Every structure is written in structure tokens, then in C-alpha cells.
Amino acid sequence: MDKRGILDGLTIIDLGTGHAGCVAALLLAEAGADVLRIQPRQWQCPLQPGQAALWNRSKRLLELDLDQIEGRDQLNKQLDNAHLLISDLLPLQASQLGLSNEYLRRGREQLVLVNICGAPGSDLPVDDLLVMAHAGILDEQAAVGREGPVYLRFPLGSWHAAFLAAIGGLLRLRQGHGGVVQTSLLQGALIPLMMHWHETENTSPALQLGMPKSVPPTLFQCADGKWLHVMPDPNRAPEVRQALDALDPQQRSAANAEFAHQPITWFKDRGAMALVFRTRPRDEWLALLQVADVPADKVAAMGELYLDEQACANGYVKEIDTAHGLTLQPAIPLVAEALDAISRWHPPARSAHQDFSKPLLGLNVVDLGAFVAGPLAPMLLADLGAEVIKVEPLNGDPMRVAEWPFNACQRGKRSLALNLKSPSAQVITQRLVEWADVIHHNQRMPAIERLGLGGEALLACKPDLIYCHVSAYGAKGPRRDWPGYDQLFQAASGWESESAGQGNEPTWLRFGMMDHLAGLASVLAVTLALFERDRCGKGQAVSSSLLAASLFTMESPADPEGRLQDFAHLDSGQLGVAPLRRLYPCRHGWIAVAQRPGDEHGLARVLTLAGVSNVQQLTATMAGLSVPEALLLFDDADVPAVEARTDQKQAFLDNPGNRRSGLVVDFPHSRYGRLTLPGGFWHFDDQPSTVGPLPPPLLGEHSRIILEELGFDELQINQWVAQALVYDPGSLGSAELNR
């Protein structure tokens, strides 16, 4: 019998026209759903051929003429049999096509509609460049050799929104009733932007500093001219220490002086490290760093990851026959299996007494993770209604020293500070496992298994448990236990090369998107495991990884030798990829221009209206126009354009409309007074804004109450606190509360 997918029996209609919608439907298709991609003959697909080959695979295709009665009849027939529909049409577009939410759901009360827009309450096109420019997000990355915003070659909003759409749609289906789930490219981009856009009433040195745009990444060129990305601390490698000691002291001091003005240098001898890494070829350094357990990876060309040994060992690369021959394509970046090989998914019965205020109300989650890729997913589960206990060591999650990323993935949780290495902790962890529906973490597996908290052991004790692990390099292969950071996967995937612009040295994007995408993939994996547990009563181990997430962001298949079919490269000025898909500097400002798909004559119209004959002359003309004048010219040419805003953090947080819509949320906080964060990544039409009710916790802030809820008495808890098994700030006096 063929192996079934978890979503076998689920029928989905894909009405997505762009990146986010197509990828959301792909994620569900490869989890077993029957996805029908409807292509109205009136629409021009904005995807490049390579993108379409990747993101529309595993789907059935139906072309319809929606201007004809026959086409409408076929659409209605498909809608009558569908459980979920994904669309990225704006309300006005949908209304003009006769595809409004009201029309689609008429007589179909069980149908779930997932709507992806550019930004909530806005008529912005569903286009990354226009949405990111309008929001000011392009200004959050430092440009190479100039001031002003950067064309983000990585489609930050669409990649995150695709996962949000897939997760939101499945959770509404799991509730057993239809309705509308909305998300947007802006909300997708806000997930990584939470690290940088926040505000507190009472600040701290770490929050004030944050991550300045000017901080240089830890990228180093080696003796063979190739680049690698290293994270703290390369001094652990004996060969690095020896090379440092061999440097002339004055040369070493002068090299370090170049970074003396930087508020963050990542590690000691930052400048001298550049001299050290130029002494050996890259592959030699990578081998030595791996032996010393130093996180590092090569800066690769886009597409090179298709041939990576580790990616292939974990099944992250798929061989797919197409009309153009055999291609290499990325697998979806998660593992979740159908355990029941016979039964198919069917809509759950809806109880009259069921609480639908949040999709995951009643779900218990234990978060054993640290840094970003692990804790992000439990935070999002808390936003969706889950009860989350964050278990951290007595000295806290290592990310606590950097408050800006810590706060961006911790809201909605309660903190239990516990010495997991002590044998005495086992009685507590046993109660936690009994309480939990989900255990989630991103620790290296040998370490977590030594604590008795490996997936195999816990599932043997509790078969209905869902155990989710976010790894760096996957569960198989020679690097399965190697440590990893977001930076390393931006490097290995090719995005550090492509984001810099042609001819420039590689650069890291400070949005940390590989961490966040791996976390989102793990939320989807947990959601799928919940579907399977609902069906057969069994839990399972599910997973995602930074390597899988980074490979999944390829925009083109490769041939068997790893050569990409097509890929648009960013220019050296980091302004764009085409004359009408780029940024233009104006007098006292910037605009972003994004030509409509299929518009073959847009550039000719613009040149004619500007009174010039080529793009170079157009650029000079734009530089002499004010932003309103430039926007008017492109509007007259019927080419979408927006102001590329700068310095928008405070404007976004202060916008009353963002608070009303849930895009900005305030929390009372015992340390910060008031903490303001972006929030509300989904909107369910009949439910409150999806934001966890609690602020990021202080270390051990809830230790005592959690232990009491687990059934331990006050005497026992006091003993554990005295023995330093548990940290309870309240037991140490108010002076220790803000530890």
C-alpha cells in the first residue's frame, strides 16, 4: 500500500498568484493534501519559470476562463468539494473577478479561506519590494558603500507569510468550522523584525544598543580567496590561537584597532582574525574548526547547496523529472509522518460547547530551547492559545544577555529555571512530560539525550506526546551534531553572496531569517502532528532544521551538476534586479518600482513620460525629482511605485491603527515598565487577535507557581530552591527579581 500523507483526504484550492500563496499550497500538498491549482486564463503569473517549477509541483492544474459560464460552473463545482482555499487577491481584485470571500463561502459554511495580502487594511500589491519599501524595512539593512535603503533580494515577507498561511489554514480546519484566516507579507516580515522594532518604558544598555546596522558580520576571506562565516569563538581552535600568537604584536594591535569603534565585535581579536584566516585555504580551516566544535560554514554560490553531502544525506534534495529533464529541487523543510496508513483526514465534528477563542487553547507545551530557532515556535504556539512553560538553566537562556532578540521570541511563556543536569531534576521533568502535549527544543541531540529527554525515551513513556526538534544540520550525516547559527546558513545557501550585489564582498542580512524559517517550519510540523494525533491517537517525533529551511529558499531548480536554471541577480549598487524592479534615489528620498507581471511596455511608457531614452538617463531624472513627483510619473505610466520610507521603527510602533489592528501590542513588564512589540501574525475572522497574553518572562519568574501546579508542595519546593536545583527570584528577595 502506498504511504499516505498526514493530510490525505484534504482538498485544497490554490488561487495564489504569487510566491507566498503558491508556497503555502505546496507545503500542504507535500504533506498529503490534494491541491488543485486553478489558473484563470485572465491572470498573468508573476513567477519566473524556475519558481513555478518549484512551487507549483505536487499540484493538479486546472485552467479556467472565468468570463465564461462554463468556467464559473467548473469553479463552483471544485469549491463545493474543497475544504480550504488559499488566495492572495486583494479585496478589490477579488470583487472585480467575482471571487469575493462572500461569494466563495456562499452555501459553503465549512470552507476555510486563507487570504494573503500585502499589508492589513492596505491596497498595497502582494509584492515584497513594494510592501517592504512602504513599511521602511528596506532601510533596516546597511547598504554597501552608500546611505539609504537596500533592495532585499531575499523575499523576506513572502517566505514567512507562506508558513503563516499554511499554519493558520490548518488550525482553522482543525477547529471543525469554516471561516476566514488572514495574514500578509508585512506580518511575515514582522516576525524577524521583532528583534529590531520594539520599545520599552525603562530601557537597559543591551536594549539601547541592540544590533546596529553598522556592525560587521564575522565573514573572513581565506588564502584561496574563498569566504567563510565563523561564529564565536574561533579561539577554541588551537590552530587559530597559534596563528594569532605568531602575528607581530604591532600588526595584531593595528588590525584590532579597525574594530575598536564597533559596539559589537562578536569575539576578541576581531580584526586580527582576518589576518589569521588568510593563512590557510577555506576547506582546511573548516576541517580544523569542525574538530574544535567551532560553528562555521562556507560562503557558497547560490545553488551549490543542492550538492551538499549533509543536505543529500537528510533527504533535503529531491530529484524530479520535468519537461526540461532531471532537476534537483528542495524538499519541504520538515519531517512529520502519517502513522495510520489507512484512514483519511475528514473534518472534525464541531461541539456546541467547544471554545473557539483561540485555535490551540488547551494545548500544553514545554519549551526546552535556547537562542532563536528553538524558542520562536513555542512563542507562536502561545500566540495561538497554547500554555507554554519555558524551562531554562539556572543562569538562563544564553540569549538573555542580548535582550533584543530574546524578547522577540519569548512572549506568552512562563519561566521555570531548573538545573536539568542534576539527577534530582528527573522527578520534575517527569511531571512536565506528563503534563505536556508537545516538547519542543533546538538543543543538540547528544546533550538532550544525556539529560534523559531524547525523543525515543519520552515517546516510550508517553506515546501520545509530540516531540519536536529543530536542529542545525539535520538528524543524519557527518555534521548532524555540529552547532549552527543563522549566519552559517545564510552563507551556505548562497544568500550572503546574492544579498551583497554583484561584485561585492558577501554580507549577512541582520533579519536572521533562517532561524525564523526553521522555527516556523517546526510550528507547521507540530500542527501536522496534531492532525495525525487527532486521527489515530498517537504522538510522534517531528523535526525541522536550519539547513532544510535555507535550502528550501532556493528560487530555481538545478540540473544534476547543481547549475541553477534561472535566477535574477542583484546589481552592485543593491538597487534592484531590473529597470522596473528596483529602487530609485530621488531628491530628499527614495522610491521603489515594481512592474506588473506581463507588462511588456511599462519601461517604454516610463521613458517616454520622463523624456529620456535609456535607464541611465531615467536614473538621473529621478534624482532631480521629489518623491511625489517621481511617484506621479510612474502612476501616469501605470507602473506600481511607492515611497521607500526610512527610519520607520517609531512611526510603526506609534501608529494608533497598528494597535487597533493588533500589529502592535503593549505588555506590562516588571523590568521594562511597558514593553511594546510587533504582534498579531494571523487574524481569524471570529476570534480575538492572536497574541500571547504574557510578556517575555524574567528568569525563573514562575518557577514556584509552575511547581505547585505540577503537584509539589511548598516544603519540597523550598528545599529545591535552597539546594540550587530550582531558581525562584521571589525566594531571594526583591533585589534579585531582575536577575
> What band does 737 get if pLDDT is binned at 50, 70 and 90?
very low
Asked if the structure places residue 624 within a domain, the reply is yes
Q: Are residues 530 and 593 in the same domain?
A: no
> What band does 642 get if pLDDT is binned at 50, 70 and 90?
very high
> What band does 345 get if pLDDT is binned at 50, 70 and 90?
confident
pLDDT tens-digit readout, 104-163: 999 998 999 999 999 999 999 999 999 999 999 999 999 999 999 999 999 999 999 999
Q: Are residues 449 and 524 in the same domain?
A: yes
pLDDT in the model for residue 351 = 64
pLDDT in the model for residue 738 = 42
Q: What is the mean pLDDT of residues 546-554?
A: 98
**Confidence check: pLDDT of 728 > 50:** yes
CA distance 716 to 249: 57
CA distance 103 to 83: 15
Q: What is the mean pLDDT of residues 397-408?
A: 96
Q: Are residues 559 and 582 in the same domain?
A: no
Q: Which three cell numbers stand for residue 210?
A: 541592540
**Confidence check: pLDDT of 350 > 80:** no
**Confidence check: pLDDT of 621 > 50:** yes
pLDDT tens-digit readout, 564-581: 988 899 999 999 999 999
Q: Which three cell numbers stand for residue 550?
A: 535555507
Q: Are residues 606 and 489 in the same domain?
A: no
**Confidence check: pLDDT of 690 > 80:** no
Asked if the structure places residue 433 within a domain, the reply is no
Asked if the structure places residue 146 within a domain, the reply is no
CA distance 563 to 306: 9
Cis peptide before 233 (omega within 30 of 0): yes
- What proportion of the chain, given as a percentage, has pLDDT over 70? 97
Q: Are strands 589-594 and 641-643 parallel, antiparallel or unpaired?
A: antiparallel
CA distance 236 to 576: 40
Q: What is the mean pLDDT of residues 507-520?
A: 97
Give me the domain span that covers residue 445. 302-348+439-567
Asked if the structure places residue 675 within a domain, the reply is no
Q: Are residues 505 and 633 in the same domain?
A: no
User: What CATH number is given to the structural domain containing 519?
Assistant: 3.40.50.10540
Q: Are residues 503 and 451 in the same domain?
A: yes
Residues 269 and 243 sit within 8 Å (Cβ to Cβ): no
Q: Are residues 548 and 606 in the same domain?
A: no
Q: Are residues 270 and 321 in the same domain?
A: no
Tally of CA atoms within 13 A in the half-sphere of 587 that contains its CB: 7
Is pLDDT larger for residue 3 or for residue 126? Answer: 126
Q: Are residues 549 and 604 in the same domain?
A: no
Residues 339 and 3 sit within 8 Å (Cβ to Cβ): no
Structural domains of the chain, count? 4
Q: Are residues 490 and 554 in the same domain?
A: yes
Asked if the structure places residue 405 within a domain, the reply is no
> What band does 273 get if pLDDT is binned at 50, 70 and 90?
very high
**Confidence check: pLDDT of 538 > 50:** yes
pLDDT in the model for residue 565 = 84
> What band does 89 get if pLDDT is binned at 50, 70 and 90?
very high
Q: Are residues 446 and 333 in the same domain?
A: yes
**Confidence check: pLDDT of 307 > 50:** yes
Last residue of a domain, one of 567, 593, 609: 567
Asked if the structure places residue 74 within a domain, the reply is yes
pLDDT in the model for residue 452 = 97
> What band does 324 get if pLDDT is binned at 50, 70 and 90?
confident
Asked if the structure places residue 16 within a domain, the reply is yes
pLDDT tens-digit readout, 610-620: 999 999 999 99
CA distance 70 to 76: 10
Q: Are residues 172 and 75 in the same domain?
A: yes
> What band does 85 get if pLDDT is binned at 50, 70 and 90?
very high
**Confidence check: pLDDT of 61 > 60:** yes
Last residue of a domain, one of 502, 534, 567: 567
pLDDT in the model for residue 97 = 85
**Confidence check: pLDDT of 64 > 80:** yes
> What band does 322 get if pLDDT is binned at 50, 70 and 90?
confident
> What band does 354 get if pLDDT is binned at 50, 70 and 90?
low
Last residue of a domain, one of 143, 176, 193: 193
To the question of pTM greater than 0.85 for the whole model, the response is yes
pLDDT in the model for residue 732 = 59
- What proportion of the chain, given as a percentage, has pLDDT over 90? 88
Asked if the structure places residue 631 within a domain, the reply is yes
Q: Mean pLDDT across the chain, nearest whole number? A: 95
Q: Which three cell numbers stand for residue 283?
A: 576547506
> What band does 553 get if pLDDT is binned at 50, 70 and 90?
very high
Q: What is the mean pLDDT of residues 21-38?
A: 98
Active site residues: 515
Amino acid present at 261: H
DSSP for 107-148 reads T-TT-EEEEEESSTT----S-HHHHHHHHTGGGGS--SSS-S
